[in-house]
Structure 1
């Protein structure tokens, strides 16, 4: 049997580890132990002051000014070497640090417990994933970046030391204090990941302190409350518990924290390991060879077992260089000074430890201390580059442990009726909201305390669906009380597996999997490790294939789910949703410029509201709504609003069908158009080619106002054509109150047939042929046009809001109104197509008539941008897409593709006000605009997609400010301006 690739990697890792085991590297601060500044500081200190340098007291910036005054007095009186920051806001924390540094004669070493970043102790900052989540990540380089981020954030706050990473190997699933704080149960993974995080900080001049030596992973009790026992032999501890610390020592980590543990095999006296010379000096420093800084875990913890008032002294005697969480540093200093006098500890030992602390301060630059600026600190700590790291970590941690029949990514959306369930929550979750961006689905929830009857009622509703996506939420971080999982949650999982095609995403501790009896029989199972909004959103994207799944379980839950389990699931080129920086764009520029232009349009009355969406490389990086549906400012624009797409219909309705039929050889665009529309035979249009017509080069008239043909001398509509009530003959609904005689449709076609051609072939935009395509498509496919485009394109794309005659499918409140028609239909157009000609086609036409959401329009255009492929399915061949989106007749100054609009000839030479679209748009870009104020544009060279939606025709089409202000072009250019050059 051949070793698996993972075994090969572990063997290589182990060989490299042994090769580096010969001697521990000196930590970087070592170079400053004999530095002039260090020596000067040491020489000017009294013995008491040198001892005080070995003390770290704790401060709580969350507290009030009176508390701050007490802390400041202690710093001035006790002169501790450092402070440990606990709780507070970024600005207040930084301000307090500044004041405490000012009060201290020697710069303070400021530390924090930042295992998942500053957020562990500071509010309003990014919460990076817990270590267990990171244990699932296979690309450790991103952990290095996280460590680098930590360092940048901590330095921004004035903090120089981080009591992280946790290097404990969690071999005990019931560990009450480590658990999710550990990278996992595999010693190689824990060692490597610990080093990558530590190195990321250390390379950026922040002191990492790995904890809790020699290993807190296999304990049954919490050292905060009692002294945990490590019952293993020394050989076992050498092989497992201390392995990561040995690895870190060999690489020169700056700091290690001694844990409060009872380890008889290392010290059979019962002494706490942090106070044991046998553990700290003999084992860590001499046997392992560690040359760096050693600090105790919090000395006030219940796991510290010693005589009254002697903990700090015994910690120093044991070999620690510094003690943290010292409650009474004054008393500790006095006790230690007395011990120096009676010979329990030498002054040379105190001096050496003090020199180590001062060397650390010198290495981090405290010799040239400058206070940190408090201005904009919260924004700085949440900078986009840190958010990008966080997103990458979460994505790479998501672990697929079941994927029967390649259920993931979920595809074939046209064949699924989907329900989502939040198992453990009382409302729609972020997971469900993100899932809804991919296709139509209904949402349900089952609270943790739901009754059996509530679940029974929900099960009955779920019978109406053939596919369920369930997120399991409300799982606790710690193992007590079965991770907080309720009986109804367990039952819901059992029943769903037995009764449904179901995908689960478990938002919580991987160990919790053991409590779901048959979850391994689900169609697919994602372990998302944590329960927060961003993790839920990214897990939802993974369900539909937005990015690759690569995570591996860091721990063993039970025999079904073992450490190392996890399968790769490849992406399928659907949309992902992220921030601009992850796509190489500036959120500051994008937000500032687009917001400004969108609001300018509103303030100038170009439209009552608009919606803007931007994607790059298939990543949606911007989607915002501005203003209101109408000028009365009652109903805000929202992302679920349905728009009348107007002429954008041309390239999203008939055009994809035509392209598909070109692929199927049902249409040859170099044939005569009359081959497909025989009515043109014998007319002046008999010899027009399909290509010329699609490129607006065929001499067709621009448009015909068909409705005006029915206006009588008195200004009223011909009663033989229109009535205000339906009948068997008047069955074409034009608006809420108006019905048209279906015979007039033939009159419209005849009028197109007999219309005059312009004198010569040149570019002249014409919508006339688009009235004919629905019938051509039906004739060639044997399927009605509307059914064909919905079932062939929109439903499989998950673009199920796209429809004709929106009034049939959506409440009017969801549909953005267009014009108040005061010349033909005499009604406000809402849900009925704005275009009069399309309305006379019953709302189902090729020139106009489509309605839909911004997101769903983007799906169609992203499919084009991806050469006819989207979400795991090919709709149109790359060759056909390329042919339709290229300029057809450039020699004739015609910029058009086949159906698609293109940039103006020599567009890149124009000024912004004369360009169409953006000056920076590539020659390969393409798109279309709509009369109602819609616009969609794709740029293959830059991977960019721009969607703009508005109802600029409300309440009248006579409003041309959208064009006069050049808003869409300016927005489009702003997108290019936001791209960060490499």
Structure 2
């Protein structure tokens, strides 16, 4: 099938989009120009974005503010053409394979006059959407390694896999400092409780994503790490003082800003110390414009968390929430539950003067500059035939290095480690852990009378402590392993050895087996403090 050429002029700048029969699209900003020309200079300074906005109608500008979900290519193309949206967010149904994602990305880009931001929540670890991507442990595992080089490499690898599939924006890294052990929504998604360590890891992650050509999004400003309410289902109220915020929660976001992060996502949460009106941060001008823009100096794109979440509910519904977010300083509106209604509401607010024209232009300019900075105006599309090649053995090796280096031995009494078989194992993932141990040459037993008893947990309570105490009363040695949140280790006092992996991925279980058998010395250190137990930084790092 022949190639279809689409050309248009916005503000005197030509954009060309080429789409062929396989859905692949090509896009260029103006005719090709030699290096060092005025065209290159405009791209570097953001002048191209300024030229583009001059030729846009108000309706087109309003469309750029929205980033809805997408079903299939046909429905997505209709949305792109009708509402001129700024981009789409992908979910697992859009990411069945690298090839399928690449074809979808090309089809959507080919239907849009302005390049689209195609984003995803690929934090790795607990939150992952692209099932084809390398299974890296999440942020807290990276923090346990203390290795910023690994954090940078992990982000670069994930970014490269996404970019090959046409995804150009990742809603990561999480910059929240998790200081609440009972946080129901952040936990191991965070780099931990140390603001300085989190800041270093956020910086490295931003650098890694940038190296891969993917825009990074630090989240959830002003910080979701000290809450016991999930903003998906309610509106958290964070009681931190302003001083606490400045010392604990702000540093990773400041690090992201200093690293040149492309975008920062708002949190649907109330922080009275930062805005006495008790507005959710997403709709708070003092927080978004005053703190994020003013005090932290952020000049990139402010994107809301999903407007479908309970924490974003306001009188007047989600369309009104969209208007309030723009007025507060947000530029990109994520996942409106009713795109037509939200678009109409924002358009009406602009036309009536409720949203000043200058505020709209400011938001759209930032979005266009982001697209320009990530090279979307000169991107020739993803290649479905080679997209899967980005998911490489080298990336899996890096994931294994992260997983093994993260394994944290919090205590080792009575030389419970390294293990000497046979061992009895109970708890979730028992079969997988047993298989990993056997692969390292350790015998496992079906008899509870085995001299070493391993207890695996993904969550725990005081009942877990009682169980461990009963086991440890005998002559056996008890090894307690937290396969998810390390906070479960707070119940591990009676055990002879306590270990955290931060993940139950295949790589994490292999790393666990290597450490438990003494094949690899433990390297991880706790990136959080355990209530009534081990402090931040605890970890046995001598050979077992």
TM-score between the two structures when normalised by the length of structure 2:
0.86
**1:30 to 1:198, Cα distance in 2 relative to 1, 3 A:** farther
Spell out the pairing of 1:773-784 with structure 2 (5 A cutoff).
Answer: none
The aligned counterpart of 1:100 is 108
Indicate the residue corresponding to 1:702 in structure 2.
none
Aligned to 2:63: 52
Task: Output the CA distance in 2 between the equivalents of 1:176 and 1:376.
Answer: 39
Counting only pairs closer than 5 Å after superposition, residues 502-521 of structure 1 correspond to structure 2 as 502-519=478-495
Equivalent of 2:299 in 291, 299, 314: 291
Alignment map for 1:243-392 (pairs within 5 Å): 243-308=251-316, 309-378=319-388, 380-392=389-401
**1:221 Cα deviation from its structure 2 partner:** 0.7
Give yes or no for contact 1:394–1:538 (8 Å, CA) kept in 2.
Answer: yes
d(CA) in 2 for partners of 1:402 and 1:269? 47
1:852-907 CA-to-partner distances (Å, cap 9, x unmatched) read xxxxxxxxxxxxxxxxxxxxxxxxxxxxxxxxxxxxxxxxxxxxxxxxxxxxxxxx
The gaps in structure 1 that reach 5 residues or longer are: 1-28, 61-66, 411-415, 445-457, 477-481, 572-982
Offset at residue 469 of structure 1 (A): 5.3
Deviation at 1:489, TM superposition (A): 8.9
SS of the residue corresponding to residue 294 of structure 1 reads strand
Q: Name the counterpart of 1:75.
A: 80
Cα 1:257–1:439 change in 2 (3 A) is: closer
Report the Cα distance in structure 1 between the residues aligned to 2:41 and 2:260, rounded to whole angstroms: 10
CA 1:53–1:496: 2 relative to 1, 3 Å: same
The superposition leaves residues 93-133 of structure 1 with CA deviations (integer Å, 9 ceiling, x where unpaired) of 22222111111121111111111179711223322112222
Structure-2 separation of matches of 1:30 and 1:87 = 39
Give CA deviations for 1:198-224 in whole Å, capped at 9, x if unaligned: 111123321111000010111111111
What does 1:770-849 align with in structure 2 at a 5 Å threshold? none
Computing the radius of gyration from Cα coordinates, the structure with the larger value is 1
Q: How far has the Cα of 1:31 moved from its partner? A: 7.7
1:529 is the counterpart of 2:532 = no
Matched, 1:400 2:409: yes
Match of 2:521 in 1: 548
Matched ranges for 1:845-856 at <5 A = none
Considering only aligned residues, what root-mean-square deviation do their CA atoms show, in Å?
A: 2.6
SS in 1 for 2:426: strand
What is the match of residue 792 of structure 1?
none
Match of 1:423 in 2: 426
CA drift of 1:37 comes to 3.7
Contact 1:400/1:551 (CA < 8 Å) preserved in 2? yes
Aligned to 2:223: 215
8 Å Cα contact 1:118/1:154 also seen in 2: no
CA distance change for structure 1 residues 339 and 541 in 2, over 3 Å: closer, same or farther?
Answer: same
Answer yes or no: is the 8 Å Cα contact 1:80–1:329 preserved in 2. Answer: no
- Structure 2 distance, partners of 1:558, 1:349, is 46
1:55–1:439 CA distance, 2 compared to 1 (3 A): closer
* CA deviation map 1:480-533 (0-9, x unaligned): xx4xx79589525631464213444332211111234512xx0x3322222233
Distance (Å, rounded) in 2 between the aligned partners of 1:383 and 1:261: 39
> Does the 8 Å CA contact 1:210/1:255 hold for their aligned counterparts?
yes
State the alpha-carbon separation in 2 of the partners of residues 157 and 232 from structure 1.
Answer: 41
* Alignment check: 8 A CA contact 1:556 1:563 kept: yes
Q: Classify 1:425/1:311 alpha carbon distance in 2 versus 1 (closer, same or farther; 3 Å).
A: closer
Q: CA deviation at 1:441?
A: 2.4
Q: Is the 8 A contact 2:68 2:89 kept in 1?
A: yes
TM-score normalised over the length of structure 1: 0.49
Residue 476 of structure 2 corresponds to 500
Cα deviation 1:301-328 (Å, max 9, x = unaligned): 1111323221111111111111111233
1:561 and 2:527 aligned:
no
SS in structure 2 opposite 1:210?
strand
Per the alignment, residue 822 of structure 1 pairs with none
Q: Which of 85, 96, 110 in structure 1 is aligned with 2:118?
A: 110
> In 2 relative to 1, CA 44–31 (structure 1 residues): closer, same or farther, beyond 3 Å?
closer
Alpha-carbon offset, residue 34 of structure 1: 5.0
Task: Note if contact 1:490-1:517 (Cα within 8 Å) is conserved in structure 2.
Answer: no
**Which residue number in structure 1 is paired with residue 543 of structure 2?**
570
How many angstroms apart in 2 are the aligned matches of 1:117 and 1:488?
25
Distance verdict in 2 for CA 1:104–1:229, change over 3 Å = same
Q: Which residue of structure 1 lines up, in the alignment, with residue 180 of structure 2?
A: 172
Task: Tell me: CA distance 1:291–1:423, structure 2 relative to 1, closer, same or farther (3 Å).
Answer: same
2:190 corresponds, among 170, 182, 198, to: 182
CA separation in 2, counterparts of 1:68 and 1:545? Answer: 51
Supply the distance in 2 between the matched residues of 1:104 and 1:534 (Cα, whole angstroms). Answer: 40
1:603 maps to which residue? none
* Number of residue pairs matched by the alignment: 500
State the secondary structure of the residue aligned to 1:441. coil
Q: Contact 2:180–2:225 at 8 Å: present in 1 too?
A: yes
Gap change, CA 1:139 and 1:535, over 3 Å in 2: same
CA distance in 1, matches of 2:368, 2:218: 20
Spell out, residue by residue over 1:446-499, the C-alpha distance to the aligned partner (whole angstroms, 9 max, x if none).
xxxxxxxxxxxx44x43xxxx4152514x14xxxxx4xx795895256314642
Q: 1:582-640: CA deviations, max 9, x gaps? A: xxxxxxxxxxxxxxxxxxxxxxxxxxxxxxxxxxxxxxxxxxxxxxxxxxxxxxxxxxx
**How far did residue 431 of structure 1 move?**
2.5
Check whether the contact 2:125–2:139 (CA below 8 A) recurs between aligned residues: no
**Cα 1:562–1:327, aligned 2, differ >3 Å: closer, same or farther?**
same
Give 1:425-464 correspondences, 5 Å limit: 425=428, 429-439=431-441, 441-444=443-446, 458-459=447-448, 461-462=449-450
Q: Deviations over 1:903-927 (max 9, x none)?
A: xxxxxxxxxxxxxxxxxxxxxxxxx
Q: Distance in 1 between matches of 2:349 and 2:44?
A: 25
Equivalent residue, structure 1, for 2:214: 206
Q: How far apart in 2 are the matches of 1:493 and 1:540?
A: 24
d(CA) in 1 for partners of 2:464, 2:337: 46
- C-alpha distance in 1 between matches for 2:314 and 2:285: 14
Tell me the SS of whatever aligns to 2:422: strand
Instruction: Indicate the SS of the match to 1:443.
Output: coil
CA distance in 1, matches of 2:322, 2:440: 59
Three-state SS of the structure 2 residue aligned to 1:470 is strand
Q: Which residue of 1 aligns with 2:241?
A: 233
Residues 133, 161 of structure 2: 8 Å contact kept: no
1:303 is paired with a residue whose SS is helix
CA distance in 2, matches of 1:293, 1:260: 17
Residue 158 of structure 1 aligns with which residue?
166
Gaps of 5+ in 2: 1-39
User: Counterpart in 2 of 1:121?
Assistant: 129
Shift of 1:561: 2.3
Per-residue CA deviation, residues 527-561 of structure 1 (Å, 9 max, x unaligned), is 22222332122211112222231111112223222
Q: Tell me: CA distance 1:95–1:442, structure 2 relative to 1, closer, same or farther (3 Å).
A: same
In structure 2, the partner of 1:472 is 456
2:137–2:403 Cα contact (<8 Å) kept: yes
Q: Is the 8 A contact 1:170 1:184 kept in 2?
A: yes
